[in-house]
A = this chain, B = another copy of it.
Amino acid sequence: MGEFELIHNFFAAAPCAQGGEGVVLGIGDDCALLAVPAGEQLAVSTDTLVAGVHFADPCDPFLLGQRSLAVAVSDLAAMGATPVAFTLALTLPTVTAEWLQAYARGLNLMAQRCGVALVGGDTTRGPLSLTLTVFGRVPSAQALIRSGAQPGDLLCVGGELGNAAGALPLVLGQRTAAAAIAEPLLAHYWSPQPQLGLGQALRGKATAALDISDGLLADCGHIALASKVGIQVERDRLPLSNSLVAFLGQSGAEAAALSGGDDYVLAFSLPSVELAQLLAEGWPIHVVGQVVAGQGVVLLDACGQDITPQIRGYQHFRETP
């Protein structure tokens, strides 16, 4: 048995590979088999993380295990889907039992948290990279897509913005900070929490949604384009954490919230009549702007002046200064 077959068997025996609702056949055959209940559809998304591009190399394999799955499952949250399963294609330069065990521990922990089962994959030798494909189920015609935003809708986000971008200089070892500041930022970077409950609560309410991976302004641009509307973001309504402001200052924190990547918080358009009930249910929703007729995204200050910076999405780890 080759070492990559051993790895395959190692993952097949992992807790997250022990089935789950909707999994008819898991690891070990040519394909996995998933059951989709009548009246539901299957949501599918694929994400690749490459060492030195999407994460520092070397990095802590336990944290990478958590993060790699969380980032992928976040796309299911953005569709309002309920997670079912995932596949993992793992390419490794060398096989180290210690690395694999730590990676699998992080992966298992996030899989358990998200209610998702490992049903297949591939393990090969090569430069370190990970491709995860995630599967969720969503009632037919209720998935949250990007193209339904209407002028008059509120622009909302599901939590604080910019924390993961704020963590990046800490991850890269470019800066240090006191633990009280560094720890909450690093937690957002390494262990983002896919907003699955919020996504499901928004079904039939939000008119458009996505998860913020490229920064609020760039991602709002995706909604504006798909929905053929304009979007106004109000700088003074951005939800910023105390840690982020303490670390980067007010304007640095705003820049991280607007243009930093890796937040994996939901951004969505919501008719104003839907807001009160969702807030009453306790969802952490922040209104940060509105949808208008027109096109593109503008940033407004407290006086309603256009202060739009050059919008530039997060263009991969290596290119970050």
Contacts and interface: CB of A to CB of B under 8 A. Distances in A.
Interface of A: 2, 24-25, 28-36, 38, 41-48, 50-54, 75-76, 78-79, 81, 85, 87-89, 91, 119-122, 124-127, 129, 131, 133, 135-136, 138, 140, 143, 145-147, 209-211, 226, 313, 315-316, 318
B211 A30 contact: yes
In the complex, the count of this chain's copies comes to 2
- Is the contact region of chain A dominated by helix, strand, or loop, or is it mixed? strand
Nearest to A209: B30
A41 B50 contact: no
Given A31-B78, A125-B53, A126-B53, A46 B120 contact: yes
A34 B42 contact: yes
Contact of A41 (B34, B43, B78): B34
Nearest to A146: B29
Given A44-B120, A133-B46, A28 B226 contact: yes
Nearest to A42: B34
A89 B315 contact: no
A143 B50 contact: no
A44 B32 contact: yes
A316 B91 CA distance: 13
A145 B25 contact: yes
